[in-house]
Amino acid sequence: MTARAADLPGVLATQQLTEFLSVVADRPGGPAAQHAAVECAARALDADIAMLMMDDGVVAAYGVTVEDVPAYAISEVVAGRRSALEVGGRRYAAAVATIDGDPAGLLVLGRESAPFTAEEICLLRGLARVLELSLRALQTTESERRYARENDRLLDFLNQRQRLFEHLTEVQRAIARRAPLDQIFDTVTVSLRGLLDVDMCCLNLLDRDDPSRASMTAFAGVRAETAMRLQHLPLPTAGVSGLAILGDELMMVTDYAASPIAMPSMSAHRLASVMATPVHENGVVVGSLTVGTYGRTREWDKPAQEVLKAYAEHVSLALTDARTLEAMNQAFHDSLTGLASRALFLTRMEEQLAAGSLAVLFVDLDRFKVINDSLGHAAGDRLLVEVADRIRACLRDQDTAARLGGDEFAVLLPGIGGAEEAKPIADRILQALREPFQLQPAAGESYISSSIGVAFSGAAEHGAQELMVHADLAMYQAKKQGKDRVELFAPEMEEVFQATIAMETDLRRAVVRHEFELRYQPIVHLRTREITGVEALIRWRHPEVGVIPPLDFIPLAEETGMIVPIGEWVLREACARVAEWNERRSDPSATPRTATRGPLSVSVNISAVQLEQADLPDMVRAILDETGLPPYSLVLELTESLMVDHRPETLHRLEALKALGCRLAIDDFGTGYSSLAYLRQFPVDIIKIDKSFVDDVVDEPTAAALTLGIIQLGQALQLSTIAEGIEHAGQLSSLAGGNCELGQGYFFAEPLTGAALNELLFPA
Ligand code: C2E
Ligand code: MG
Ligand code: MG
């Protein structure tokens, strides 16, 4: 045998190598090829035993059982420390070749008869090398196959992704074109059911009015009757869907029937496996998206979970978007009247100003507060709705009406040639709002009026804000001119307004710097000509302008609320001064000539704004205490308009003032709306007949008759009467003849400075 190898080593070697190669290449798969390789190597080199070791383990053996392979002895041979192996009591000459690669290995041969020659060992190395290469090739195909398998999976995955993508794109399109929510939800449930290959899919959303309950809002593969029953369910009883909402996390159940959280009704429907994940609106959980199978259980793998989550995210997107849209709509519309909001109005105005000329109307109701306060907010709201309807009815299609807030409305009239063209429309609105309103079913009709300002702009001539200011100024002017009217904007209004603003600043400063003074106009007993009291009248000594009369700044002081501190100063100053004079008058040693006369009363004008202050009676009481003026000596003059005001607080406050012991007078009587009936309701002591009657009392028979009528009425109601603005002796005699008790006017004295009155009272 040895001779054969030794004789023809080259030939044999080539033959055997070819044979070996074909065996190795023919047999696919690792272990088979390894086994074939070992057998082939043994035969080629006439060995009795052969072994292939990989990573120190025996992977194939020939002529010996795997357990009998002497692993330690082999390692000794490899290390060159021995040349023979003992197996089963026999001794074999050993030949070893290493196989490089990963894993590394050894091809080991043993022959009982004779040691291996150098050529044989060389051949063995060649075989090992072939084995190494073929193993490597085998490994490569193995990994390629694995790679291909992965590729398949990847492709599959990509296909699935593609389908998911296509489905979600459909949902996204529906969201983007703002399809109705229920339509989007239907798309979601149907699409998800198909994509995940489940039997049912549903969307449960928290009830808007009661977020502790949820309702099935959309579904696919659920019977309509079943869905009907799953409405307004308390969350904890709403099964997996409810738990997903409560926990704000994905919930899965593989065997629903056996699950402790199963809803009996759903198990009855053979619900087998179910999975739910929360949906959100603006990041807050508002519901859940659920999928389930009937009759067949299913493991919810990662991809299925991901798909469900992706759909839930799209539902969240749709919900958040719809809510944003709703909020935007709300921002652009007045919820009460449905008219445009200020924001929308301004946007439209900007658009239309760029395109052409337009007019803006500012409409402010004149008596809204009175109606709101007396009839209640519900009636007030009805009034506003009705006003909106009437304004709308006066407009063309292209016009926009807006509610700017409170009782303020605005109208945009595009394509108008000038302010005069807008005037008829404003007049129409004015007229429409004068018609009676039926605000309460059983109650009578209510009347209001409005003040309307009109402003006009040519194309791109003014900015939207600027035009709003113009219309507002014109409206303000309409109010000032007596309300219930239309005013067109004029540039002077801006100057007047600027001046008003400047005056407001000055007025604030005046309060701090004490720029006010009081004048005292004597009130005289008409028959005895005796001074019985004085009316305190304010003046403003402006550092630059000089003395400003009250009518020029009191309205602004009232508008800005500054009348409150100013009025308090007037009251304190007047009471203190008169208390001082009275003290002097009562001292016989100091002023013997006036000693017999009674104390003077002081009349102080009180503005309606002051009367709105709940602490007015306390303030008056404190000042009376402080100055020592007896309450009876103080007369508070109020204007008639107060009596038209029906608010109960007004009456209560007047009664509180009366309770202090001071007297109340109605100023400028006859000029306002007050009917005689009011006089009985209000705790009034004095009527001051307006100067306009006194002016005409001599020459105009009607004025004379009216004046006498007022005086007689006063007497009938046991009220004192004071005639204002007596300038001539003729007026005095008419009034005195008509039994008017008191009077004041230039005929007796103008409003005097404190010093001047002092001289009059206590002549030197
Ligand atoms: P009023 O309370 O009716 O005061 C009478 C006004 O008539 C005073 O004008 C007085 O100067 C003027 N007057 C008196 N006799 C005659 C006359 O014979 N001929 C003419 N032509 N006028 C006469 P005044 O001081 O300019 O005050 C105007 C109004 O300003 C007052 O009308 C009152 O309503 C208001 N007022 C004045 N002082 C105060 C105040 O301290 N507080 C408040 N809230 N209002 C005040
Ligand atoms: Mg007065
Ligand atoms: Mg008056």
Q: What is the pLDDT of residue 140?
A: 65
Name the closest-CA residue to atom 8, ligand 1. 537
The tens digit of pLDDT for each residue in 721-747 reads 999 999 999 999 999 999 999 999 999
Q: What is the pLDDT of residue 42?
A: 87
Which atom of ligand 1 has the smallest separation from the CA of 747? 18
The single-letter code of the amino acid at 535 is E
Name the closest-CA residue to atom 21, ligand 1. 725
3-state DSSP assignment of residue 502: helix
**704 Cα to the center of ligand 1, angstroms:** 22
- Between 595 and 586, residue with greater pLDDT: 586
Q: What is the pLDDT of residue 27?
A: 59
Backbone angles phi, psi at 443, to 5 degrees: -80, 170
For residue 45, name the pLDDT band (cuts at 50, 70, 90).
confident
**604 Cα to the center of ligand 2, angstroms:** 7
Indicate if the pLDDT at residue 591 is higher than 70.
no
Q: Who contacts 491 (Cβ-Cβ below 8 Å, separation ≥6)?
A: none
**632 Cα to the center of ligand 2, angstroms:** 17
For residue 516, name the pLDDT band (cuts at 50, 70, 90).
very high
Q: Give me the sign of the Cα torsion angle 387, 388, 391, 393.
A: negative
Q: For ligand 1, which residues put their CB under 6 angstroms from it?
A: 521, 537-538, 549-551, 554, 567, 570, 605, 607, 637, 667-668, 724-725, 727, 744-746, 751
Which among 63, 318, 26 is positioned nearest to 173, based on CA atoms? 318
Instruction: Tell me, yes or no, if the pTM score tops 0.85.
Output: no
User: CB burial class (10 A; 0-12, 13-18, 19+) of residue 234?
Assistant: exposed
751 touches 519 (CB < 8 A): yes
Which among 135, 125, 104, 105 is positioned nearest to 45, based on CA atoms? 125
3-state DSSP assignment of residue 505: helix
pLDDT cut 90: percent of the chain above it: 48
Alpha-carbon distance 109 to 4, whole Å? Answer: 17
Alpha-carbon distance 567 to 562, whole Å? Answer: 8
Q: Average pLDDT, stretch 438-464?
A: 89
**612 Cα to the center of ligand 2, angstroms:** 18
Q: What is the pLDDT of residue 19?
A: 64
Alpha-carbon distance 534 to 570, whole Å? Answer: 13
Q: C-alpha distances in angstroms, 112 versus 468, 613, 670, 725? A: 117, 128, 148, 155
Q: What is the pLDDT of residue 362?
A: 97
Out of 516, 572, 605, give the residue to mutate to test ligand 1, the one with the largest number of ligand atoms within 8 Å of its CB.
605
| Least confident span in 47-51, 185-189, 221-225, 261-265 | 261-265
Out of 537, 611, 668, give the residue to mutate to test ligand 1, the one with the largest number of ligand atoms within 8 Å of its CB.
537
Q: Who contacts 161 (Cβ-Cβ below 8 Å, separation ≥6)?
A: none
Q: 276 has which bridge partners?
A: 251, 290
3-state DSSP assignment of residue 456: strand
Q: Who contacts 182 (Cβ-Cβ below 8 Å, separation ≥6)?
A: 217, 218
Ligand nearest to the CA of 636: 2
Q: What is the pLDDT of residue 36?
A: 80
- Residue 690 — left, alpha, or beta (φ > 0 → left; ψ -120 to 50 → alpha)? beta
Name the closest-CA residue to atom 25, ligand 1. 537
Rg (CA), the chain: 54
The tens digit of pLDDT for each residue in 614-626 reads 999 999 999 999 9
**706 Cα to the center of ligand 3, angstroms:** 17
Ligand nearest to the CA of 670: 3
Indicate if the pLDDT at residue 10 is higher than 50.
no
Q: Average pLDDT, stretch 377-386?
A: 93
The tens digit of pLDDT for each residue in 191-206 reads 999 888 999 999 999 9
User: CB burial class (10 A; 0-12, 13-18, 19+) of residue 442?
Assistant: exposed
Question: Which stretch, 166-175, 320-329, 470-479, has highest mean pLDDT?
Answer: 470-479
Ligand nearest to the CA of 521: 1
Which atom of ligand 1 has the smallest separation from the CA of 751? 11
Indicate if the pLDDT at residue 504 is higher than 60.
yes
Indicate if the pLDDT at residue 753 is higher than 60.
yes
Indicate if the pLDDT at residue 289 is higher than 80.
yes
Please tell me the number of Cα atoms within 13 Å of 186 on its side-chain side: 5
Mean predicted lDDT score pLDDT of the chain: 87
Name the closest-CA residue to atom 43, ligand 1. 605
Q: What is the pLDDT of residue 2?
A: 38
Q: What is the pLDDT of residue 550?
A: 96
Ligand nearest to the CA of 669: 3
Indicate if the pLDDT at residue 189 is higher than 90.
yes
Q: Hey, how many other C-beta atoms are within 10 angstroms of the C-beta on 752?
A: 19
**716 Cα to the center of ligand 3, angstroms:** 22
Q: Average pLDDT, stretch 9-15?
A: 48
**509 Cα to the center of ligand 2, angstroms:** 25
Take residue 703 and report the two structure tokens written for it: 């004025």
Q: Average pLDDT, stretch 483-509?
A: 91
3-state DSSP assignment of residue 449: coil
- Between 499 and 133, residue with greater pLDDT: 499
Take residue 757 and report the two structure tokens written for it: 């009155």
The tens digit of pLDDT for each residue in 62-77 reads 998 888 888 888 888 8
The tens digit of pLDDT for each residue in 237-256 reads 768 888 899 999 999 999 88
The tens digit of pLDDT for each residue in 82-141 reads 888 988 888 999 999 888 877 788 889 999 988 988 877 877 887 787 677 666 666 666
Q: What is the pLDDT of residue 24?
A: 64
Which among 209, 203, 212, 210 is positioned nearest to 182, based on CA atoms? 203
Alpha-carbon distance 190 to 179, whole Å? Answer: 16
DSSP 8-state symbol, 269: T
- Between 108 and 320, residue with greater pLDDT: 108
Which atom of ligand 1 has the smallest separation from the CA of 519? 25
3-state DSSP assignment of residue 404: strand
pLDDT cut 70: percent of the chain above it: 90
Q: What is the pLDDT of residue 590?
A: 61
Q: Hey, how many other C-beta atoms are within 10 angstroms of the C-beta on 100?
A: 11
**537 Cα to the center of ligand 1, angstroms:** 6
Q: What is the pLDDT of residue 579?
A: 97
Which atom of ligand 1 has the smallest separation from the CA of 744? 15
Q: Average pLDDT, stretch 709-713?
A: 87
389 touches 326 (CB < 8 A): no
Q: Average pLDDT, stretch 262-271?
A: 73
Which among 473, 475, 479 is positioned nearest to 493, based on CA atoms? 473
Indicate if the pLDDT at residue 29 is higher than 80.
no
List alpha helices for 435-539, DSSP H.
464-480, 491-513
Which atom of ligand 1 has the smallest separation from the CA of 607? 44
User: CB burial class (10 A; 0-12, 13-18, 19+) of residue 701?
Assistant: exposed
Please tell me the number of Cα atoms within 13 Å of 519 on its side-chain side: 14
Name the closest-CA residue to atom 37, ligand 1. 537
Question: Which stretch, 275-279, 308-312, 641-645, has highest mean pLDDT?
Answer: 275-279
- Report strand pairing: 601-605 vs 634-639: parallel
Alpha-carbon distance 279 to 186, whole Å? Answer: 15
Q: What is the pLDDT of residue 449?
A: 93
Alpha-carbon distance 135 to 173, whole Å? Answer: 55
Name the closest-CA residue to atom 17, ligand 1. 725
- Residue 315 — left, alpha, or beta (φ > 0 → left; ψ -120 to 50 → alpha)? alpha
In which residue are the tokens 């043993």 written?
110
Length of the chain: 764
Is the peptide bond between 103 and the residue preceding it cis, with omega within 30 degrees of 0? yes
**603 Cα to the center of ligand 1, angstroms:** 11
Q: What is the pLDDT of residue 4?
A: 40
**744 Cα to the center of ligand 3, angstroms:** 10
86 touches 97 (CB < 8 A): no
- Residue 81 — left, alpha, or beta (φ > 0 → left; ψ -120 to 50 → alpha)? alpha
